[in-house]
Structure 1
């Protein structure tokens, strides 16, 4: 009957009704598709309104290093159901890695890679947590749980930024691919995480730049402007060198008679020789630049001295020693983390003792010379020194590259009241394995935190303030936009130069 009525209508009216029918059909189809998508995303489409809920849910997975797969599967499904292209790069615990990208990796576009890790450190003493470590508790002011900072919070900001770019530029061809790379076992530096990805998938990944986890903005870094937050971008980090010292001395085992030499005593003497003196301050091009950058922001004589560190070195070094977190980037550090003789009987003298040393070397340091000096200071040839883990030597990333410039601009857009400086980090991360391959790698977490929150990283009651995720996501989005705009400007200039050259040939 409807068809008969339609045929008797005026042609213009019939065309109008047909148009309305098409619009309604498309809208219904889109609504159904949107509803289906929402049903497979636990809190709906990824946006500013649910970013904290997604982090809370991610925290609920106890993805301690070596047990990442369950959390990784959840995260991968969020990426897949949001419309990103997935590439598996290892599919088991301690080797669970995947990428989620704007375009398939097979497109071979130069890739902006956002690096993050799925694993977390163990929760520690559960009785010391205000809320259970894997509850993902959201209070009026904070988001609680293991990984809220390291590194699940950063991952969620990266992912939400990528999805925002995907939705904005859907159907367009961009000059870059943008990829979210989630890896395993960063906390234990096992070979199944970033190293496995590089060994097996580096050509496919095709990174133009890697953006990884680093420091947030912290107030108090400036002595003369303690209320001003400074955003650091790391272009290098110290190399981990983990050592095991072993000493065996067979003596009478009864504690009632003290031998002239026994394992525990000799090890303690050797360690006192090693650790009892200050580590030498080492001034390099990179940490001198860092001092000068901070000096530009400081006021008065403090700023003047920091802008001329070579002249005022004898005054600066004692001040650096008062701040271990700062002095650590001016020295090769040695930290005793374990002393063990496998003995809990008070009247038995053990014949063997081991010590573990966490050493961190400046980027330019020579490992062989460092080890030779360490053995000399121990002053005990009976102590066997073996290497547990050694990070390769690597070059610093260029702080004059277009990617560094774009990251700095992105931070300044989100936080116009704060300054940005270039730094060297005392700690290591997965960023190092990319730097070791000569890939431009920059690390930062673009949120502003009070120093007190950093005290809970790798400790009990890890948490972050509410509201910071939105700012971090906005900064990552700004960075991608800067890279897209910069490339378009570059192509535009090439086009103009080509046309000018073409015209000059005609003339």
Structure 2
């Protein structure tokens, strides 16, 4: 049989300038979400794939958010999904960028711009790999599908969950090119429990407070303080999940400038927004607080919500915490699963360094694949410190390494017919 793996690695090295320029061009699209108009970048992607003879099916999540599916190979026992999102978070204050955020400037070993790490670098790697497979005519024994969604950064309502829930595509494994450590793919995430509570007060003239009126803001502050005790909830972590938690905590202690390792097995509590009062000289008659809480293995998000309500009552706050937005339990794909094992082995092969999977303290689209019974993990090129910040960029070496990992993993997972 032809050594397709060696040929692909040679071709990636030979054509790496194409990959670099592709990433740069993707970064020149100003498809911030919100508002989330993916039509121009989607057309560019379809044109790029068409040049390699690849057709694309468009599944509009709404009028401006286009989800793209392109498939190579032959129907068989295995179907690998390459997944990425094309939207990026807003660039913010442009004056605080040293390099314009939509320039795609290539400089000093990096490609610069909003979304370079999250995740147009990863998208470029997937696109380039699929196009290369088509041009080389690699006879895949199974199917390889590229799924690029337009909505992730604002919750993904019209992205991955929309596509999967409608049965527009399925697979036996998935690889998401989300940013990760160079040597450590993300194989699981904590759960989420977003909730809000509203406190009522009695209005009055501000000059008479606190002797007259009952400030909803002051009462809400008591509730906020009480909710900090969510951190003290003790999870009942199963043995297998405890093993990967221990690995992840060691990874965090070794790599983070500050010891954040306790976040993996505790409930996090972030008071995200506070909205209350009418004007400065009135005692506030209402206040709404929104809380972002992340849930470790060994706890159900409903348990966190119930404890939040208990803590509020204990603090004398007569209200109910209600879930909204993100909520769900911690989830992972075992490091013993075939797709995880292959990605880790190929990272080690490409980088010539030790690699292993870890958990993530945030959430991602990976949870939706797991809900549909599809083993999934995340691996993508990134400078992690710059994600969602000013002066975001992606290392070119990491970009090329990631493309090699994507290609080798697909070849080994799907196999070839000759």
TM-score normalised to structure 1 length: 0.72
1:373 Cα deviation from its structure 2 partner = 0.7
The correspondence for 1:261, drawn from 214, 221, 231, is: 214
Give the deviation of 1:393 after TM superposition.
Answer: 4.0
> Which of residues 164, 181, 186 in structure 1 aligns to 2:132?
164
Residue number in structure 2 paired with 1:126: 94
Distance 1:286-1:199 versus aligned 2 partners, 3 A rule? same
Once the two structures are superposed, the pairs formed by residues 52-131 of structure 1 within 5 Å of their partners are 52-65=20-33, 66-90=36-60, 92-93=62-63, 95-103=65-73, 107=75, 110-131=78-99
Distance 1:158 1:146 in 2: 18
**TM-superposition CA deviations, 1:265-307 (whole Å, max 9, x none):** 0001111111267434645435531355479999xxx99xxxx
Question: Are 2:327 and 1:327 equivalent residues in the alignment?
Answer: no
Match of 1:340?
275
Give the superposition deviation at 1:152: 0.7
Match of 2:296 among 357, 362, 373: 362
Q: Counterparts in 2 of 1:441-452, with a 5 A limit? A: 441-445=376-380, 447=381
CA-to-aligned-CA distance 1:229-273 (integer Å, 9 cap, x gap)? xx2233321122221221121221424432463101000111111
User: Which of residues 162, 172, 178 in structure 2 aligns to 1:208?
Assistant: 172
Offset, 1:398: 2.9
Structure 1 match to 2:365: 430
Shift of the 176–380 alpha-carbon distance from structure 1 to 2, 3 Å rule, reads: farther
Post-superposition shift, 1:481?
2.1
Residues 1:237 and 2:201 aligned together: no
Aligned partner of residue 339 in structure 1, secondary structure: strand
Separation (CA, whole Å) in 1 of partners of 2:231 and 2:158? 37
**Structure 1, unpaired ranges of 5+:** 1-45, 219-230, 304-319, 490-507
The Cα shift of 1:119 comes to 0.8
Residue correspondence of structure 1 range 105-504 to structure 2 within 5 A: 107=75, 110-170=78-138, 172=139, 174-202=140-168, 205-217=169-181, 231-258=183-210, 259=212, 261-275=214-228, 278-280=231-233, 282=235, 283-290=237-244, 292-293=246-247, 323-324=259-260, 326-341=261-276, 343=278, 345-378=279-312, 379-393=315-329, 395-416=331-352, 418-445=353-380, 447=381, 453-485=383-415
Query: What secondary structure sits across from 1:63 in the alignment?
Result: coil
Q: Which runs of 5+ in 2 are unaligned?
A: 1-13
Q: In the aligned structure 1, how far is the partner of 2:403 from the partner of 2:199?
A: 51
C-alpha deviation, 1:330, in angstroms: 1.0
Q: Deviation string for 1:75-103 (max 9, x for gaps)?
A: 12212222223121226455310112214
Q: Distance in 2 between matches of 1:110 and 1:267?
A: 53
Deviation at 1:62, TM superposition (A): 1.3
For residues 8-53 of structure 1, what are the alpha-carbon distances to aligned partners after superposition, in whole Å with 9 as ceiling and x for unaligned? xxxxxxxxxxxxxxxxxxxxxxxxxxxxxxxxxxxxxx93122121
Normalised TM-score (structure 2) = 0.86
After superposition, where does 1:37-48 map in structure 2 within 5 Å? 47-48=15-16
Kept in 2, the 8 Å contact 1:113–1:207? The answer is yes
* Secondary structure of residue in 2 paired with 1:420: coil
C-alpha change, 1:297 and 1:377, in structure 2 (3 Å) is closer
SS of 1:428's equivalent in the other structure is coil
The answer to whether the 8 Å contact 2:202/2:215 transfers is yes
Cα deviation per residue 1:318-357 (whole Å; 9 max; x = unaligned)? xx9x623x222111212111112265x4323221111111
- SS at 1:217's partner residue? coil
Q: Which stretch of structure 1 is more off in the superposition, 133-142 or 378-387? A: 378-387
Return the structure number with greater relative CO, CA threshold 8 A, min gap 6: 2
Shift of 1:151: 1.0
Distance 1:296 1:341 in 2: 42
SS of structure 2 residue aligned to 1:384? coil
Which one has the largest radius of gyration?
1
SS state at 2:386 partner: coil
Q: How far, CA to CA, are the matches of 1:255 and 1:455 in structure 2?
A: 47
Does structure 1 conserve the Cα–Cα contact (< 8 Å) formed by 2:248 and 2:358? no
